[in-house]
């Protein structure tokens, strides 16, 4: 085999049509061997003799895509000094574009001797045979002119889902494609998403991940996938074609198909930690290549890892090479895989320069000036588990945030908690108190009622307590602070009054979400009334508990129709998805304010109204004409007037409809599954039933 010097850039394995260039970064290694594997698993080692600025590299002519490879990295095994080199362990390439297979926990994946009383201080000399291998890929793909839908933020409706959960039980997805990228791109799923009206799918992690050893021992799996080991590699678990590297092409085909349907693809990404865990975790990649480069180690005790994530380690974003790894990964998914944005798991961890969260850290500075990354949708989960980690409202311009305050306020409001009127007003109108003063817009608030982590919507109105026994942790895992209300019975019941109230509460939550200013995120399956049996932490349940049930009964079909109508209503009316905050003052050329808050008497709310109610009852009038906003051609936007009336109290309330430009047409009443076609005209005094929401429209031409 010929071995040429090659180049230090780019990192990873790069095929140029004639051969492959290999490059890997390590500051502290004393020797690195490239390991090439044939179809039978036989290993051939090639020593990397060239080193440029801590990058070890070579070029091997004749190698082709599909080549499996890994690294053995030599150096001191001194855990108490933060060094954990062990050449007996085959390591993944941090820049691997594809990974062949998954880990085998029975085959020597730990760098230390398991069971030794000195724990990780004694190096294990057993050769690892259970490590997955990196794969050389062919980057070429016919995108057929794809440029992405480029949907404006304020016109976006996000659907959070899981590749496998969405498709695994769908009867119209071919069985061999269920649970895969190809299944998500199948005609049945694309048709469903289009009819639903959503504009983007936000996929739970699709980077190659590891199923935790302790879960495998219990017969469970890391279903959610927040345990990344390959930041460039689409997970082979979701590929219908198990040939080496085929998952890359299949992922690209999925993105292209969704884009052709006008649907964007946002990835949930986990750059805050890796799957190697704490000091007693496995040696799969970063730990064995250069531990202090990639991980935050405890000052004065580098044997141990800083853990701001609750997973055992935190990536060392202070190190320029680790920062480059993250930026290179993001650019790769944008330029090569054509994704439209990212949701950053525990993003506050990435902002930690030392220990405090710093909104002007190097991570954000680099993203802000990057001409590629800065132009896609960037969403932060604005908290981590460390001190000072709750940072809702504190991320920089160009960032949207999962608005945990919106979620909590809306849950408490519809549960009937007192003293929420002002907070409710802020959340309903885009959270100007959080986002208006730093250059951001209402759409910076990612509004959600439920997400993958926690109760589904049906469970939110059916359980007061978590029921996580299936996770084999004696119901200790998952939060106890669910802000839920079971409507009178815990779990499933035959009581028609309880079930009727639950259906109404689900409609209340969904209508509030889709009629709020900001960017709505719908948890996939909530539109079907999906339940997880009260389990609020199904991260380890790769089974029917997480897979969507597509056998729809009359109740779930009605809820689905309700959500479809709401989504399309929102997108059809710019007054319901404004790009700018309300001003609360008269519109030019009109005596109507752009927004008015109304008490049940039909009068504008006073300070006493805002603070005096035990339960939330109020109206919101959106004038709509004109909006003082323009379309993409610079034309002033006009829309109908809308009136929303909320009554979270346990009693019905009489409400006087305000005088406007004409009579009010009832579009939606959450006490009903559907308002009759043609609408109902109301004027004067009406009765708004307990635990309900109404939406009225006054047509612009009236």
Q: Which residues are catalytic?
A: 345, 381
Q: Nearest-CA neighbor of 398 among 341, 357, 448, 354?
A: 341
The DSSP output letter for 4 is B
Between the CA of residue 66 and those of 38, 100, 137, 214, 248, what are the distances in Å?
10, 9, 6, 32, 11
Tokens of 543: 């089974």
State the distance between the two ends of the chain, measured CA to CA, in whole angstroms: 81
Element (H, E) at 459: helix 457-460
Angle between helices 187-196 and 554-572 (to 10 degrees): 60
> Which residues, other chains included, contact 129 with Cβ-Cβ below 8 Å and sequence gap of 6+?
90, 104, 107, 108
The DSSP output letter for 186 is S
Distance, in Å, from the CA atom of 585 to the CA atom of 565, rounded to the nearest integer, reads: 31
Distance, in Å, from the CA atom of 248 to the CA atom of 254, rounded to the nearest integer, reads: 10
CA neighbours closer than 13 Å in the CB half-sphere of residue 655:
29
Distance, in Å, from the CA atom of 626 to the CA atom of 210, rounded to the nearest integer, reads: 53
Angle at 401 between CA 396 and CA 403, to 5 degrees: 130
The structure tokens 């680790």 sit at: 322
Burial per residue of 190-203, b for 16 or more beta-carbon CB atoms within 10 angstroms, e otherwise: bebbeebbbbbbbb
The structure tokens 């990835």 sit at: 267
Is 583 within 8 Å of 629 (Cβ atoms)? no
Distance, in Å, from the CA atom of 100 to the CA atom of 71, rounded to the nearest integer, reads: 14
Output the DSSP codes for 648-695: -SSS-EEEEPPP-SSPEEEEEETTSS-PPTT-EEE-SEEEEPSSEEEE
Q: Which residues pair with 523 in a beta bridge?
A: 160
Alpha helix stretches (DSSP H) within 474-553: 496-515
Between the CA of residue 277 and those of 108, 211, 227, 230, 306, what are the distances in Å?
16, 12, 9, 14, 11
Instruction: Give the pairing type, strands 445-447 and 519-523.
Output: parallel
Tokens of 30: 């004393």
Is 106 within 8 Å of 114 (Cβ atoms)? no
The structure tokens 């209402």 sit at: 442
Is 170 within 8 Å of 178 (Cβ atoms)? yes
Angle between helices 187-196 and 246-260 (to 10 degrees): 40
Phi, psi of 469 (to 5 degrees): -60, -30
Q: Is 480 helix (H, G, I), strand (E, B) or coil?
A: coil
> Which residues, other chains included, contact 229 with Cβ-Cβ below 8 Å and sequence gap of 6+?
92, 99, 207, 208, 209, 210, 274, 275, 276, 284, 285
Q: Would you say the C-alpha torsion 456, 532, 200, 502 has a positive or negative sign?
A: negative
């Amino acid at each position: 085999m010929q071995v040429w010097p090659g180049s230090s850039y780019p990192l990873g394995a790069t095929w140029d049509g004639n051969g492959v260039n290999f490059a890997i970064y390590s500051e502290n290694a004393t020797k690195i061997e490239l390991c090439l594997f044939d179809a039978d698993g036989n290993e051939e080692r090639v020593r990397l003799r060239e080193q440029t600025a801590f990058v070890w590299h070579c070029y091997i002519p004749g190698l082709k895509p599909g080549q499996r490879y890994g690294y053995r990295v030599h150096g001191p095994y001194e855990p108490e000094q933060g060094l954990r080199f062990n050449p007996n362990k085959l390591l993944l390439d941090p820049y691997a574009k594809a990974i062949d297979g998954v880990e085998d926990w029975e085959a020597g994946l730990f760098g230390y001797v398991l069971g030794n009383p000195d724990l990780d201080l004694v190096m294990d000399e057993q050769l690892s045979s259970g490590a997955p291998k990196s794969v050389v890929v062919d980057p070429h793909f016919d995108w057929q002119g794809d440029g992405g839908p480029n949907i404006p933020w304020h016109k976006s409706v996000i659907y959070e889902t899981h590749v496998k959960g969405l498709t695994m039980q769908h009867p119209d997805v071919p069985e061999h494609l269920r649970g895969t990228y190809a299944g998500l791109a199948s005609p049945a799923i694309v048709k469903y998403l289009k009819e639903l009206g959503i504009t983007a799918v936000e996929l739970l992690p699709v980077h190659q991940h590891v199923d935790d050893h302790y879960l495998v021992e219990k017969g469970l799996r890391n279903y959610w996938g927040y345990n990344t080991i390959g930041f460039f590699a689409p997970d082979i678990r979701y590929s219908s074609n198990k040939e080496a590297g085929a998952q890359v092409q299949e992922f690209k085909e999925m993105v292209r198909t969704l884009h052709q349907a006008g649907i964007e693809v946002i990835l949930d990404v986990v750059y805050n930690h890796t799957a190697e865990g704490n000091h007693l975790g496995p040696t799969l990649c970063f730990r064995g290549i250069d531990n202090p480069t990639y991980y935050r180690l405890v000052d004065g005790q580098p044997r141990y890892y800083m853990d701001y994530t609750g997973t055992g380690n935190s990536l060392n974003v202070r190190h320029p090479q680790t920062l480059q790894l993250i930026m290179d990964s993001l650019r790769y998914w944008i330029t090569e895989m054509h994704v439209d944005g990212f949701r950053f798991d525990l993003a506050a961890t990435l902002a930690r320069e030392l220990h405090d969260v710093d909104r002007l850290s190097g991570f954000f500075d680099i993203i802000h000036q990057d001409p590629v990354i800065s132009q896609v949708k960037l969403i932060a989960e604005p908290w981590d588990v460390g001190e000072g980690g709750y940072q809702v409202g504190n991320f920089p311009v160009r960032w949207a945030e999962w608005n945990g305050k919106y979620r909590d306020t809306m849950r408490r409001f519809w549960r009937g908690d007192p003293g929420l009127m002002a907070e409710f007003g802020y959340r309903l109108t885009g959270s100007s108190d959080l986002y208006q003063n730093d250059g951001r817009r209402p759409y910076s608030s990612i509004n959600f009622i439920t997400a993958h982590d926690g109760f589904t919507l049906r469970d939110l109105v059916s359980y007061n307590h978590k029921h996580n026994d299936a996770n084999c942790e004696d119901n200790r895992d998952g939060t106890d602070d669910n802000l839920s209300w079971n409507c009178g019975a815990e779990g499933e019941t035959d009581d028609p009054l309880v079930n009727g109230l639950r259906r109404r509460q689900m409609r209340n939550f969904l209508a509030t979400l889709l009629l709020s200013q900001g960017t709505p995120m719908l948890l996939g399956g909530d539109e079907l009334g999906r339940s997880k049996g009260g389990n609020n932490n199904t991260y380890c349940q790769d089974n029917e508990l997480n897979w969507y049930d597509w056998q729809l009964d009359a109740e779930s079909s009605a809820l689905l129709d309700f959500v479809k109508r709401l989504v399309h209503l929102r997108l059809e009316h710019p007054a319901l998805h404004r790009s700018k905050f309300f001003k609360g003052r008269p519109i030019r050329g009109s005596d109507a304010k752009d927004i008015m808050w109304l008490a049940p008497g039909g009068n504008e709310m006073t300070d006493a109204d805002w603070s005096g109610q035990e339960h939330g009852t109020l109206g919101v009038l959106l004038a709509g004409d004109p909006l003082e906003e323009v379309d993409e051609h610079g034309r002033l936007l006009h829309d109908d007037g809308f009136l929303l009336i909320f009554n979270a109290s346990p009693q019905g309330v009489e409400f006087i409809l305000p005088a406007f430009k004409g009579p009010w047409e009832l579009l939606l009443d959450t006490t009903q599954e559907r308002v009759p076609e043609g609408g109902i005209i109301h004027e004067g005094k009406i009765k708004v039933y307990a635990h309900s929401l109404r939406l009225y429209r006054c047509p612009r031409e009236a």
